[in-house]
Structure 1
Amino acid sequence: MRIVITGASGNVGTALLRRLVESGADHELVGVVRRPPEPTGVYANVRWHELDLAEPSATSQLQTIFDGADAVVHLAWGFQPTRNVDYLSRVGVGGTSAVLEAAHAASVGHLLHMSSVGAYAKGRYGQRVDESLPTTGISTSPYSRHKSAAESILDDYERKHLDGGVPITRMRPGFIVQRAAASGLMRYALPGFVPMMAVPLLPLLPLDRRLCIPLIHADDVADAFVSAIEHRAAGPFNLAGEPPLTREHVAEVLGAKSLHVPSCVLGALVDVSWRARLQPIDRGWLDLAFSVPLLDTTRAREELGWEPKWSSVEALGDVIHGVAQEAHADSPPLRRRSLLEQLQRDLTKGLLTTRHLP
């Protein structure tokens, strides 16, 4: 098959390439990214195209790239700079629109879109939901608003093409982690002056005791995508590891003592420190952690034959061990997090949250 993957060098993209390469199938793999990686390791047997999906010309360029594709997997998304919400919207919402228009124009056989638990409506925290819950998002989180808007674009397309059009799969996973993404995740989550190795050494975990979220390993997300491609399965699919991740699970993995701090207090601290430019995560991410529902994955298990190989606690342990070892992959989004390099970029190009591009 000819499979085109946007965001192919990121967290899930790297896991998906690994899964496709290990399968031994003779696929033609095409990657669309803003910064192509060096053609080594899992990134070696991929034809790379350099493209920022926020650019006005993205649709026409994608149409050429998508020509003859059996499947397009749309993973590309932006997480930083958090202060440039307009750019993040153009990448996520505008990029999804460009991918969909190009896929339709090129008569792509199958489009698989990376949505998120963050697209779901607020109000069912700690409760399991199936794929019928409205995807109206959480208003205080830019990430959630954009994932919701992307789903609306797909809804509009399917309403207009009831008798045809490109079959669309929507994956709605919980929070996604893996060892190879440790440096990339920490680069976007930690201030430049905090070393990665300090995280696993925390003696106390100040967190609301209510925490209960869906978490999943990137390898299990990749398995679901491959199964959906093989089954040509359309529609939405929830993906999550078991059990739901709690504060006590996090404390256990970190070897830390948990300390109850209400989410409203944590939210205020995150907001103040973000506004003071002391750390790169806006309050929306904390709001998301205490608003998203748990996920009923029955549909993925029954229709895709999918079963997560990692428990949520094992997945968290994998990424935390990666943090302790400064694990990374050989792609720009997942490269090693160098404290010196990050501080130098902050001084010469501006803080991560305010740069034009991360």
Structure 2
Amino acid sequence: MRVVIVGATGNAGTALLRRLRTEPDIEAIGVARRLPEDTGPYAGLQWHSVDVGHDDAPDQLTGIFQGADAVVNLAWQIQPSHDARRLYRTNVLGSRAVFRAALRAGVGALVHASSVGVYAPGPKWAYVKETWLRTGVPESSYSRHKALTERMLDEIESDHPTLRVVRLRPGLIFQRDAGTEIGRYFAGPLLPARLLRFGWLPALPANRRLRLQGVHADDVADAYLRVLRADVRGAFNIAAGPVLDPGVLARTFHGVPVPVPGFALEGAAALSWLLRLQPVDRGWVRLALKAPLMCCDRAASELGWRPSRDAVEALRELVAGLAERAGRPDSPPLDAAASQPGRLGGLLRGRLPGTGDPY
């Protein structure tokens, strides 16, 4: 099986390459804007450098996709959050370029990395299935973009019924190697990450709607592999238990929950984002407060998928990665270099949180 992975050097892409290396009958081809070094999970692969948001991306990708059995689209930008046009260019127009190229090349399967962010606001004490309304949370650009890309896939499914289209909708994806990357994307250079090495957070903001789901990157990679091997279509929710809420986090990190109303969380995020103190705008807080919890029964019944690690274990691994400034120097997105935007070295060079590209 010949599989092309677009966005193969990030959090999920790196985990998927690790998983596919154990499958001798699968040939993986990597596509990324910034190519990795020929080491670790990236070694020995055929690589192509493509900016999916560029005007000539559909033509470039069509040639790369020729002869492929499947295309897995993982390309997505979280930052720079202060450049909405850049994010739309990569996330929406870039996804459209991947989809068009897959159709032109006549691939058999198109697998897209969607997210819990595609869902409309929903319950925090019940679980929604894949049929839940997919209008996103309007205040979040991330959520709006996920909803837009899924609408494109709806049209493709309708117009091309012979193409197998699959969407994976994971919760928060954690692994140690992504520690520095996730810290850059969501916390910024002022986070005292070294203090996390004791696994202790003295105070944790608590809100009754701050209930989220996580999953280890290796388990997400296993879900992608199962999708590639099975004759399935449609969407699959992917998440591990338990739900990560203030009580679970307080017990895990020996902290004290401090009640904070939602408007205060949003206001603090908005002000600190405007002042370029951290890279997360209020839309991310609104998404965290409104995104529903997902039922993963379909993945279990049709893919035989079950997480090998629970969400707390995955989160502990991520926090350890943050504290140890973990990353992969052979992957540009996972690089832990201090000069990166969102790191203190980048700040000293004038690269403020939420600005600058590449991130």
Tell whether 2:181 aligns with 1:180: no
Gaps of 5+ in 2: none
Tell whether 2:352 aligns with 1:351: yes
Shift of 1:238: 0.6
Aligned residue for 1:169, secondary structure, equals: strand
Tell me which residue corresponds to 2:50: 51
Distance 1:135 1:283 in 2: 21
Distance 1:73 1:340 in 2: 27
Distance 1:65 1:49 in 2: 8
* TM-score of the superposed pair, with normalisation by structure 2: 0.94
Mark the CA change 1:356 to 1:10 in structure 2 (over 3 Å): closer, same or farther.
closer
Tell me which residue corresponds to 1:171: 168
Is 2:122–2:293's contact at 8 Å kept on the other side of the alignment?
no
Counterparts of 1:95-244 in structure 2 under 5 Å? 95-162=94-161, 164=162, 166-199=163-196, 200-244=199-243
Tell me which residue corresponds to 2:273: 274
Mark the CA change 1:46 to 1:148 in structure 2 (over 3 Å): closer, same or farther.
same
Tell me which residue corresponds to 2:59: 60
Mark the CA change 1:124 to 1:209 in structure 2 (over 3 Å): closer, same or farther.
closer
Distance 1:326 1:345 in 2: 15
Aligned residue for 1:290, secondary structure, equals: helix
Distance 1:171 1:21 in 2: 21
Shift of 1:195: 3.8
Aligned residue for 2:60, secondary structure, equals: helix
Letter in 2 for 1:114: A
Is 1:5–1:32's contact at 8 Å kept on the other side of the alignment?
yes
Tell me which residue corresponds to 2:16: 16
Shift of 1:124: 2.8
* TM-score of the superposed pair, with normalisation by structure 1: 0.95
Shift of 1:340: 8.6
Distance 2:318 2:175 in 1: 5
Distance 2:109 2:74 in 1: 14
Mark the CA change 1:114 to 1:124 in structure 2 (over 3 Å): closer, same or farther.
same
Distance 1:17 1:107 in 2: 23
Is 2:5–2:29's contact at 8 Å kept on the other side of the alignment?
yes
Mark the CA change 1:349 to 1:26 in structure 2 (over 3 Å): closer, same or farther.
farther
Distance 1:64 1:352 in 2: 36
Is 2:69–2:109's contact at 8 Å kept on the other side of the alignment?
yes
Letter in 2 for 1:334: L
Distance 2:46 2:37 in 1: 11
Is 1:196–1:324's contact at 8 Å kept on the other side of the alignment?
yes
Letter in 1 for 2:179: A
% identical equivalent positions: 44
Shift of 1:201: 4.7
RMSD over aligned CA atoms reads 1.7
